[in-house]
C-alpha cells in the first residue's frame, strides 16, 4: 500500500516520497500485468490524488513509466463503485455501506437494493490522523 496521502504538504500536495512509492507500486503492478499478457489497463485513483494540486505529476509519471492510464474517480463515482462491489457480493435491501479509506469516507444508503443517497467526506483515517494526532499514543486532547 503506497499511502499516497502520507506526508501531504500544507497545501495538500503529494509528497515526493509518496509519489515515488506510488509509482513503484504501479511499476510492480505493470510487471504483473505484462507477465499475464494483459494488453491495456485503465486504473483508477481516489481521494489522495483527487485532492492533490500536483495530481497531474503523479498521473503523468505513472503513465510515462508504466503505460498505465490513471483516471481520478470523483467522490460520487467512488461511492457508486462501492455500492456495485457490495451489491455483487451480498443481497442488499435497506442498508448503509461505509468505505473508510485513507483520505475519504464514502457512505451509501440503499433502499430496496438501490442507491437512495450517497456522500463522500474528507474523513479518511490517514487524513484525520495527520490533522489531529501528533503523538503516539495520542494525548487525551487529540482524541
pLDDT in tens, 30-55: 999 999 999 989 999 999 999 999 99
Contact status, residue 68 vs residue 43, Cβ threshold 8 Å:
yes
Residue 3 pLDDT greater than 90, yes or no = no
Kindly report, residue by residue over 68-121, the tens digit of the pLDDT: 999 999 999 999 999 999 999 998 899 999 999 988 999 999 999 999 999 999
Identify the structural domains of the chain with CATH numbers, from first to last: 16-72 (3.30.420.40), 75-131 (no CATH)
Query: E strand or H helix at 120, and its extent?
Result: strand 114-121
* Residue environment code for 22-40, b if the CB has 16+ CB neighbours within 10 A, otherwise e: bbeebeeebeebeeeeeee
Amino acid at each position: 500500500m503506497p499511502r499516497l496521502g502520507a506526508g501531504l504538504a500544507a497545501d495538500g500536495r503529494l509528497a515526493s516520497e509518496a509519489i515515488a512509492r506510488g509509482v513503484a507500486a504501479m511499476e510492480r503492478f505493470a510487471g504483473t500485468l505484462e507477465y499475464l499478457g494483459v494488453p491495456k489497463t485503465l486504473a483508477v485513483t481516489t481521494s489522495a490524488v483527487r485532492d492533490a494540486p500536483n495530481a497531474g505529476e503523479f498521473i503523468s509519471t505513472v503513465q510515462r513509466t508504466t503505460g498505465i492510464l490513471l483516471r481520478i474517480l470523483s467522490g460520487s463515482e467512488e461511492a457508486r463503485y462501492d455500492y456495485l462491489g457490495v451489491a455483487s457480493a451480498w443481497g442488499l435491501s435497506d442498508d448503509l455501506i461505509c468505505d473508510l479509506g485513507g483520505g475519504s469516507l464514502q457512505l451509501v444508503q440503499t433502499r430496496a437494493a438501490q442507491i437512495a443517497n450517497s456522500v463522500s467526506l474528507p474523513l479518511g483515517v490517514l487524513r484525520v490522523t495527520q490533522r489531529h494526532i501528533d503523538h503516539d499514543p495520542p494525548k487525551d486532547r487529540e482524541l
